[in-house]
Structure 1
């Protein structure tokens, strides 16, 4: 089995990603919503999507997926963190990145106590430059470490369609990965 993955945000993208990754690896889902965490831990999908309820039940029952509200616990147990939080539109049409920043700061604080290498992957909808201009600075501020020295940042945008997301996850028409860290991109 490969390394453990932490998935931050158990909404549509996060829940689908967590359940699909848990087919062949350990996954820790993280959400601020205790009800979603409880549902996952009971083997119940908090998201309606064809096939997802059965998949969540299967991977939780097999002990490969669990959920928590504790970021530090998730980061401690994982080598890779997927950021799958919402980026709603602001009234002026720009993206609200506050959830992305908050999660990256939480991950960064947890990385202060996690001396090993860690890859942070942004799957949320973001504009080009967000990894370098928003994500990396948030991680560095909170961790006291430097991206590139044990912390890597990648972007792997999701292209999931409602109603076919499981098929889209397992059989993507293409996979896009962006990173300045070739090793991290290859690991992803």
Structure 2
């Protein structure tokens, strides 16, 4: 599917998923939705554009709880707060987690080369691998409640549209099923 990572990879995934599922493969409806969680910042615009380009739906604003793309494919943008124009997944971690030092370096999310110094900063990949993954059992993930609520909403939406696709006996209206 030519997934290489980042926004470009997500756009390719959406394009290929749509064309493959809608035109090439004839199969039973999948039991569960596929959910792409994206940062809700300027990088979301190409993803929103890819959705419009293939579905001909109106362009998402980023304020949606989720966007149904096709069949079982959904896009969930990170929630925006009051007077907040953009959010990234890292915004939902506690400040103490984001302030964690790695070999004396500070976490820096900037995508501007002039604001990122490799001798002073580490980026998203190191944050995910060396801070979050290594300390997951002790981190406070309470900041992710609204994101989890959106995932539950997607599962409920998919189950309501395709009741025969969901696994019998499973209830998707409780967030505890995801936690």
In the superposition, the TM-score normalised over structure 2's length comes to: 0.33
* Greater helix fraction, Structure 1 or Structure 2: 2
* Greater strand fraction, Structure 1 or Structure 2: 1
Higher alpha-carbon Rg = 2
